[in-house]
Amino acid sequence: MTTKEEYLRKPDWLKIKLNTNENYTGLKKMMREQNLHTVCEEAKCPNIHECWAVRRTATFMILGAICTRACRFCAVKTGLPTELDLAEPERVADSVVTMNLKHVVITAVARDDLKDGGSAVFAETVRAIRRKNPFTTIEVLPSDMGGVYENLKTLMDAKPDILNHNIETVRRLSDRVRARAKYNRSLELLQRAKEMYPEIPTKSSLMIGLGETKEEIIETMDDLRAHDVNIMTIGQYLQPSKKHLKVEKYYSPEEFNELKQIALTKGFSHCEAGPLVRSSYHADEQVNAAAKHMQAQGDKILEAK
């Protein structure tokens, strides 16, 4: 464990290549012109240059840029949000068309100030993208919406292609790392989403380096599979500022590869694991892998009959 004064030195494999080509600058310009937010910027994602400049993908963050929660790992601003922007879904959909995205991830700040947790705007964003770009696959990444499952139903009824909700950390550390969110509530949300629409893959992300043990990581995998989660991502926690939790360990690429193999043996249809992996990292590849896996499972059931 690190002391109050100690900070671990970042290893070489965490060095990031900056790329500010026309794709990057053009995408940034469009986001500002459309008054849109991305979790790529707000959460200081280390992959922003790869995704924006090379893959030309982005994770839109709706419902404003101010979160009602103050999780100790997250760089998104905390405070009292402003009023809802009801025109935001159409602007997001227009941007998806402009970018000609094959896959889009929609996330949001937690809006505990709203009775519906923002689920109506979330759902309308999905529907707006469907109307304007029907061939784009859509992944949604909501908060736990306070555990109000009528709100989850509002979002699921819009029929996204993937429901993503992050467990974030292991059970023992959850109360210390996350604000208001609960480990069991996250598991229940993932399971309820699958019960509502069994054909929609579910996904969750775990960040490591906060003091968890390997056994606890594997226990989290088992918990997610017990709640029928299909896709898992595992990434290195990076401290956004000195106000946030310190990094207790930097995992090597070899350790991440081992965890990926363990996850696949547990039955996940797809697992991304690596030092710079984040929840929406290569999300377009994940949706394709999940679809093929679920099709194969369906074929096996038909053959058995």
User: What integer pLDDT is reported at residue 290 of this predicted model?
Assistant: 62
Instruction: Report the Cα–Cα distance between both ends of the chain, in Å, rounded.
Output: 54
Mean pLDDT of all residues in 266-295: 75
Residue 83 lies in a domain: yes
- Give residue 66's pLDDT band: very low, low, confident or very high (50, 70, 90): confident
> Residue 62 in contact with residue 88, Cβ under 8 Å?
yes
Mean of pLDDT values over 257-261: 98
Q: Is the pLDDT of residue 14 over 50?
A: yes
Rounded CA-CA distance 249/226 in Å is 28
Q: If you average pLDDT over every residue of the chain, what do you get?
A: 84
What average pLDDT does this structure show over 200-206?
Answer: 96
Report yes or no on 7 lying in a domain: no
282: containing domain: 16-304
Residue at 199 is within a domain: yes
pLDDT at 293 over 70: no
Q: What confidence tier does 302 reach under pLDDT thresholds 50, 70, 90?
A: low
Of the two residues 25 and 121, the one the predictor is more confident about is 121
3 domain residue, yes or no: no
Residues with Cβ within 8 Å of 53's Cβ and at least 6 positions away in sequence, in order, are 19, 20, 21, 23, 24
Which whole number is the average pLDDT over 222-248? 93
Q: Pull the structure tokens for residue 9.
A: 């030195």
pLDDT value at residue 197: 97
Residue 85 lies in a domain: yes
Confidence of residue 8 (pLDDT cuts 50, 70, 90): confident
Asked, for residue 61, whether it belongs to a domain, the answer is: yes
The CB density around residue 221, as the number of other CB atoms within 10 Å, is 24
The two tokens of residue 280 are 């929406």
Q: Does some domain include residue 135?
A: yes
Give the total number of structural domains in the chain. 1
What's CA 293's distance to the chain center, in Å? 20
Q: Which CATH number belongs to the domain containing residue 107 in this structure? A: 3.20.20.70
pLDDT digits (tens, 9 = 90+) for 174-196: 999 998 889 999 999 999 999 99
Residue 271: its H or E element: strand 270-274
What pLDDT is attached to residue 4?
45
Per-residue model confidence (pLDDT) at position 87: 92
The answer as to whether 9 is a domain residue is no
* pLDDT per residue as tens digits for the range 89-100: 999 999 888 887
Question: Nearest CA to 231 among 170, 185, 275, 277?
Answer: 277
Q: Residue 292: pLDDT band by 50, 70, 90 thresholds?
A: low
Residue 5's pLDDT is 46
pLDDT (mean) for 144-154? 93
Q: Lowest-pLDDT range, 11-20, 214-223, 249-258?
A: 11-20
Q: Strand 231-236 to strand 270-274: parallel, antiparallel, or no bridges (unpaired)?
A: parallel
- Do residues 204 and 166 touch, judged by C-beta distance below 8 A? yes
Q: Is the entire prediction scored with pTM above 0.85?
A: no
* Res. 244 pLDDT band, cuts 50 70 90: confident
Q: Model confidence over 18-55: pLDDT tens digits?
A: 656 666 666 667 667 776 766 555 555 665 555 654 55
